[in-house]
Amino acid sequence: MVVIAAGTAVLDGRVHRPGWLQTDGGRIAACGAGPPPRAADADFPDGTVVPGFVDMHVHGGGGTSYTDPDGIAGAADFHLRHGTTTTLASLVTASPAELLAGVRALAGAVRRGTVAGIHLEGPWLSRARCGAHDPARMRDPDPAEIDAVLDAADGAIRMVTLAPELAGADAAIRRLIDAGVVVAVGHTNATYGQAERAIGQGATVGTHLFNAMPPLHHREPGPALALLRHRGVTVELIADGVHVHPAIARAVIGAAGPDRVALVTDAIAAAGCDDGSFRLGAVPIDVEAGVARVRGTSTIAGSTATMDRLFRAVAADVGLAAAVRTTSTTPARAVGFDRVGSLSAGYDADLVVLDRDLRVAAVMAAGRWRVAG
């Protein structure tokens, strides 16, 4: 057993100063406020202990991508060093053969424990709101293709983003939900009514709210308002100061509450790298001043953010407890991870130790120190 003490700890969603927890193997055995019941094996008197971050939408990092079978471990390790202990690896729009190959590679990574699941962002998206996806490879959802993808994944797919206005979307939503997959509305040109219909059919996530969807308008509210107004919907936010203005991030968290907002990086291979040229699937990307855009356009192409950076940004505005919800608890719940996202007895021993500046000092995953403090 390992006892960890810290000057500040967010336990069971509450901030304690000081606080402690005890791990046994890969689980949390006990936790509490005040000094620990025995001498700590790891003491961080100036540190803050929070749950490991859960990133439900990330394409790569550290120079590698989840679309590259040889790069999966490197991307996951890069984000682990930034506190992400649970990763939903995201695939972009691809041809049918490439999609199946990518799903099979990531399903193997899920079995090995490298990543926790798969998020398909495409190919069943709107060409009008393609963002950094290749519109030539987008297509309407086809029952045979969906069945083939689900078979290839063997249960590893946790979430699929689709545009609900596409032909065949209703049947696709029903099929995915029947398979235990979370359906997210995104990269969509849907009307308010079409988004409401998808939510009524069981869609429970809004993919990177405001990005790659019609803007909110007082006569044409579009999908953003439909996603925001339903209590059963979790909305993703890329709170990097590029995808949405910090005031918008504050407003959304204030309106929906931190229990309905999941911060996501949407990071690409360029995260952690110098400016330069990269690819997102088949699409060439240029990164300048840390901002990724489709080559030759002003279109934002994912991010170069990490979850610790997003945590710092939100904690400064809404406090530690809300920052923990939006970076750990809420995304874990949104995609059905029931043993991560909180420092609570019985949960996996996934945690991040932050220094006085809320920068990563140490990371534990499944009871093992992966970044030493």
Binding residues for Zn(2+): 121, 187, 208
State the binding site. Answer: 121, 132, 187, 208, 211-212, 219, 243, 300-302
Q: Is the peptide bond before 214 cis (omega within 30 degrees of 0)?
A: no
* Residue tagged active-site, from 134, 266, 348, 350: 266
Q: Is the peptide bond before 18 cis (omega within 30 degrees of 0)?
A: yes
State the binding site for substrate. Answer: 132, 211-212, 219, 243, 300-302
**Continuous segment of H or E residues that includes residue 246:** helix 246-256
Note if 70 is an active site residue.
Answer: no
Q: Which residues pair with 119 in a beta bridge?
A: 90, 159
**Continuous segment of H or E residues that includes residue 219:** none
Buried b (16+ CB within 10 A) or exposed e, 176-209: bbeeebbbbbbbbbbbbebbbbbbebebbbbbbb
Cα–Cα separations (whole angstroms), residue 49 to 121, 158, 254, 358, 365 = 32, 28, 24, 10, 13
DSSP-derived pairing of the beta strands 157-162 and 117-121: parallel
Which of the residues are catalytic?
266
